[in-house]
C-alpha cells in the first residue's frame, strides 16, 4: 500500500518525506487555500515546489468543470512535471476528460467519489487513481470503509487497473482498515500518519530498557 500525504503545507510534506515512507502527495483547492497559495502562477509554482520535495505522484486538481476547460487545464498541469497526476472531479465532463487524458498518456486521479457506481465509471474511463472520500461518508453516518471494500472487490473481480486511493482519512485506524480492505493507496493528513507510531507499551517498554541499561552501566 502506497502512502501519500494529503496537504499543500510544504513543512508537513518535508516532515513526512523525512520519515522515508512517503510515496506521493495529494492536494485540492481547499488545501491550497488553507496554506494561503492563490493565483494561477503561485499555485503552479507551489506544485513545482512539492515535486522538488517528493519523488512520487503529485495530484494537482483542475478548477474547470467543463470538458474543454478540464482538458486545457489538465494539459498545463501535466506539463509542469512528469510526476504530476491531474485530479479531475467525478462529473460527466470529468469522466469524458479522463478518457481523453488516458488516451493521450496523461495520468489522472478521479476525485469526489462517494459510490461504487462512480468508481465503475472512472475505471471504465481509465483513471489511474480513484479517490473515495471515507471521512466525509462517515460524517453523514454511512460507512466509508464499506465503500473502500466494495470498490476493491469490484476492481479485483473485473481486473480494472485503476488504483483505489482512499482519501478523506481522519485517523490512524482508517489507515489500518484501508490496508485490511486492500486499498492501493492511502492519502492522509500528517497527524494520522504520526498516530500510527503511538502505543503506550512501546513507550513503557523503551523507558524500562533505558532505565535497566542505566542501572547496569551507570
Ligand atoms: O484530498 C481530498 C480529501 O482527502 C479531503 O479530505 O478531510 O477534507 O474530507 P477531508
Please check whether residue 9 is in contact with residue 33, taking contact to mean a CB–CB distance below 8 angstroms: no
CA distances from 61 to 39, 45, 111, 187 (A): 14, 14, 9, 15
- Per cent of the chain over pLDDT 70 is 100
Mean pLDDT computed over 18-35:
97
Please identify, by atom number, the ligand 1 atom nearest to the C-alpha of residue 139. Answer: 9
Ligand 1 within 6 A of CB of 167: yes
Contact predicate 22/56, CB 8 Å: yes
pLDDT beyond 90 at 130: yes
- pLDDT (tens digit, 9 = 90+) per residue, 113-124? 999 999 999 999
User: Among this protein's residues, is 87 annotated catalytic?
Assistant: yes
Phi, psi of 9 (to 5 degrees): -80, 115
**Buried b vs exposed e over 27-45: b needs ≥16 C-beta within 10 Å?**
bbeebbeeeebeeeeebbe
pLDDT band at 50, cuts 50/70/90? very high
Distance of alpha carbon 153 from alpha carbon 182, whole angstroms:
9
Q: Counting Cβ atoms within 10 Å, is residue 149 exposed (0-12), middle (13-18) or buried (19+)?
A: middle
Mean pLDDT of 71-84: 98
- Catalytic site residue from 87, 96, 124, 215: 87
Q: Is the pLDDT of residue 218 over 90?
A: no
**pLDDT (average), residues 7-11:** 98
Ligand 1 pocket test target in 5, 35, 167 with most atoms within 8 Å of CB: 167
User: Residues 44-53: what's their mean pLDDT?
Assistant: 98
User: Are the CB atoms for 168 and 133 separated by under 8 Å?
Assistant: yes
Residue 84 has pLDDT above 90, yes or no: yes
| Mean of all residue pLDDT scores within the chain | 98
Which residue puts its alpha carbon closest to atom 5 of ligand 1? 168
Nearest to 65 by CA among 33, 89, 31: 89
Q: Which atom of ligand 1 is nearest to the CA of 27?
A: 1
Amino acid at each position: 500500500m502506497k502512502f501519500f500525504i494529503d496537504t499543500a503545507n510544504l513543512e508537513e510534506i518535508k516532515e513526512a518525506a523525512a520519515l522515508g515512507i512517503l510515496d506521493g502527495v495529494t492536494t485540492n483547492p481547499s488545501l491550497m487555500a488553507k496554506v494561503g497559495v492563490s493565483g494561477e502562477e503561485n499555485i503552479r509554482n507551489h506544485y513545482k515546489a512539492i515535486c522538488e520535495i517528493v519523488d512520487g505522484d503529485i495530484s494537482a486538481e483542475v478548477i474547470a468543470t467543463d470538458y474543454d476547460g478540464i482538458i486545457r487545464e489538465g494539459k498545463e498541469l501535466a506539463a509542469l512535471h512528469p510526476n504530476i497526476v491531474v485530479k479531475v472531479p467525478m462529473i460527466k465532463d470529468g469522466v469524458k476528460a479522463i478518457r481523453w487524458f488516458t488516451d493521450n498518456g496523461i495520468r489522472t486521479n478521479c476525485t469526489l467519489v462517494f459510490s461504487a457506481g462512480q468508481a465503475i465509471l472512472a475505471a471504465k474511463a481509465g483513471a489511474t487513481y480513484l479517490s473515495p472520500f471515507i471521512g466525509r461518508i462517515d460524517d453523514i453516518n454511512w460507512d466509508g470503509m464499506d465503500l473502500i471494500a466494495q470498490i476493491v472487490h469490484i476492481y479485483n473481480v473485473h481486473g480494472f487497473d485503476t488504483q483505489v486511493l482512499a482519501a478523506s482519512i481522519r485517523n490512524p485506524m482508517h489507515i489500518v482498515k484501508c490496508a485490511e480492505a486492500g486499498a492501493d493507496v492511502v492519502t492522509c493528513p500528517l497527524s494520522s500518519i504520526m498516530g500510527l507510531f503511538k502505543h503506550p507499551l512501546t513507550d513503557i517498554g523503551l523507558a524500562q530498557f533505558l532505565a535497566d541499561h542505566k542501572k547496569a552501566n551507570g
